[in-house]
Amino acid sequence: MTTLDSRIGRILPDLIAWRRDLHAHPEIAFQEHRTSAFIADKLRGFGLEVHTGLAGTGVVGVLHSGDGPMIGLRSDIDALPIEEATGLSYASAHPGRMHACGHDGHTTMLLGAARVLAEARPKSGTFVFVFQPAEENEGGARVMVEEGLFSRFPVDAVFGMHNWPGLACGHIAVHSGPVMAAFDTFEAIIEGRGSHGAMPDQGIDPITISGHLQGAWQAIVSRSVSPTEPAVISVTQIHAGDTWNVIPDKVALRGTARSFNPAVRDLLEAKMARRAEMICAAFDATCQFTYTRRYPATINSAQEAATARLAAVAAAGADAVVTDRPPSMGAEDFAFMLERKPGAYVWLGNGSDANGRILHSPRYDFNDAALPHGVRYWVKLAEASAGVAGEA
């Protein structure tokens, strides 16, 4: 650990500078051209084999270290369309875009691990560093897989990491099984018949119908899904009407549904569609309902979760490894990689969630104190996965 800590300490000023440079230049889904070039330039400087162009702006670095398994280590690189409100000296230089989820930190930690491993040169294993675009809403992991990520780089296992505000800095949460929920979206366009607000009997009020539908959807979770199975249906948009005294013709309801169990996911879709159809018909209205499956659930495989746990203990100490933290109803497109390959996804503590350190907040900033912890975990994970004992 002393040798690894000294290596990380030596490069820590570079890590902080890289992270803050990335923070100042955020790029959103599939537009990460500067970020991609930055990553590729660093990897080439470390002596890695570099591949670009997967999913447009994806970058893959390969470190060959002799016979042994091929291990994938993945980071996301995109930012969000959010106006930054931190006031930092290195705040976003681009209005309407910011690193509000810590992908600048994720990218930096994986680059740091690539540098340490390239210098240490473990005696066995091949390490594939995957820098993935478009995690936020656009499914860049799915695109990389569809474009041949695992046929070009046939890894034996793949691992991911996300910073986690509210978890003590440097602590690591490891799950065996579900980590993040499936992410689906829905839209219901309810069409009735508009009328004067003072004469509702002359129309078919879609706003009233939308209230009944919202209640019926919530009853799916409370009365049709087993209490032991997590599920969420959230209406996040309601659009209707233009003036005070006119009942509109249409209402649009939009939102998101979350689940872990594929059978629960099927149930949510079927029952939401059925209730939308039947409730609207009962009020003499019609409904156009659309349910879109976006990301599958992120579920760790048992053996790789055990490997991640061993690496976390080696990196942080047993007291800093959390194994009983509940999974999150948030979503993560790393799930597409875990559908194809065994692997594990962990949460790295980012410290207190006070002072705006909340994911997707305009006041969010990645905690630079977490950088050495993340690099250390990646290196220990590479060693554990390749069967190398303390090479770094």
In whole angstroms, give the CA distance from residue 192 to residue 286: 7
Tokens 């994806």: give the residue.
58
DSSP class per residue in 182-226: EEEEEEEEEE-B-EETT-GGGSB-HHHHHHHHHHHHHHHHHHTS-
In whole angstroms, give the CA distance from residue 375 to residue 134: 22
CA dihedral sign of residues 116, 60, 360, 340: negative
Is CATH 3.30.1490.190 correct for 182-295?
A: no
Burial (CB < 10 A; 0-12, 13-18, 19+), residue 77, is buried
Residues 6+ apart with CB under 8 A from 342: 156, 157, 158, 301, 303, 304
What are the boundaries of each domain within the chain?
2-180+297-386, 182-295
Per-residue pLDDT in tens (0 to 9) along the chain, 392 residues: 569 999 999 999 999 999 999 999 999 999 999 999 999 999 999 999 999 999 999 999 999 998 999 999 999 999 999 999 999 999 999 999 999 999 999 999 999 999 999 999 888 999 999 999 999 989 999 999 999 999 999 999 999 999 999 999 999 999 999 999 999 999 999 999 999 999 999 999 999 999 999 999 999 999 999 999 999 999 999 999 999 999 999 999 999 999 999 999 999 999 999 999 999 999 999 999 999 999 999 999 999 999 999 999 999 999 999 999 999 999 999 999 999 999 999 999 999 776 667 999 999 999 999 999 999 999 999 999 987 655 55
Phi first, then psi, for residue 266 (nearest 5°) are: -60, -40
Q: Which residues pair with 20 in a beta bridge?
A: none
In whole angstroms, give the CA distance from residue 392 to residue 390: 5
Q: Decide: 251 and 207 in contact? Cβ < 8 Å.
A: yes
Q: Decide: 272 and 287 in contact? Cβ < 8 Å.
A: no
DSSP class per residue in 217-231: HHHHHHHTS-TTS-E
Cα–Cα nearest to 217, from 160, 163, 277, 167: 277
Phi first, then psi, for residue 213 (nearest 5°) are: -70, -40
CATH class held by domain 2-180+297-386: alpha beta
Phi first, then psi, for residue 232 (nearest 5°) are: -140, 135
Angle between helices 2-24 and 371-386 (to 10 degrees): 120
